[in-house]
């Protein structure tokens, strides 16, 4: 690696609190592997979907519930938070094939009335020995 890259890596390693450079690099590699696995439709993954919506919008909660029932086997937990008088935040924990997680997330995020939604895909843990 070029000296300037090594210097920047060491600065980041310190700023993030890693014990050493190789631990920082290992986490970067795992992060890239998780991203790669997320693009392999059949790969088993875990993930979360976060949704924010106004529960006063007509039928939004019924619509989101209908979609969740279509993918009941993938959804292992949900949490609903009343953010304020209007806004709700819903967090769904998912486990299944990467392509299926993307499919349910796309449907929920595209539902009329959802203000913002985001899928985060992570490892089931079985891919890494750490
Ligand atoms: Ni609510």
pLDDT at residue 3, rounded to an integer: 85
pLDDT over 80 at 130, yes or no: no
How many angstroms does the Cα of residue 78 sit away from the middle of ligand 1? 13
- In eight-state DSSP terms, residue 42 is T
Q: Which residues pair with 48 in a beta bridge?
A: 93, 120
Give the CA diameter of the chain. Answer: 58
State pLDDT tens for residues 1-35: 788 999 999 999 999 999 999 999 999 999 999 99
Alpha carbons 7 and 13: distance in angstroms, whole number: 10
| pTM of the predicted structure, to 2 decimals | 0.89
In order, the DSSP letters of 88-121 are EEEEEEEEEEHHHHHHHHHHHHHSTTEEEEEEEE
How many angstroms does the Cα of residue 49 sit away from the middle of ligand 1? 16
Q: Would you call 30 helix, strand, or coil by DSSP?
A: helix
Q: 49: which residues sit within 8 A by CB, 6+ positions away?
A: 91, 92, 94, 104, 105, 108, 109, 117, 118, 119, 120
pLDDT band of 129, cuts 50, 70, 90: confident
How many angstroms does the Cα of residue 53 sit away from the middle of ligand 1? 9
How many angstroms does the Cα of residue 106 sit away from the middle of ligand 1? 21
How many angstroms does the Cα of residue 72 sit away from the middle of ligand 1? 21
How many angstroms does the Cα of residue 58 sit away from the middle of ligand 1? 14
Percent of the chain with pLDDT over 70: 99
């Amino acid at each position: 690696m070029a000296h300037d890259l090594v210097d920047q890596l060491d600065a980041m390693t310190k700023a993030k609190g890693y014990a050493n450079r190789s631990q920082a690099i290992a986490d970067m590699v795992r992060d890239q592997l998780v991203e790669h696995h997320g693009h392999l439709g059949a790969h088993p993954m875990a993930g979360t979907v976060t949704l924010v919506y106004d529960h006063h919008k007509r039928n939004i909660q019924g619509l989101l519930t209908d979609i969740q029932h279509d993918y009941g086997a993938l959804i292992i937990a949900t949490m609903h938070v009343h953010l304020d008088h209007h806004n709700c935040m819903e967090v769904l924990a998912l486990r299944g094939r990467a392509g299926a997680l993307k499919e349910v997330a796309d449907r929920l995020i595209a539902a009329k009335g959802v203000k913002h939604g985001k899928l985060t895909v992570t490892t089931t843990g079985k891919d890494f020995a750490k």
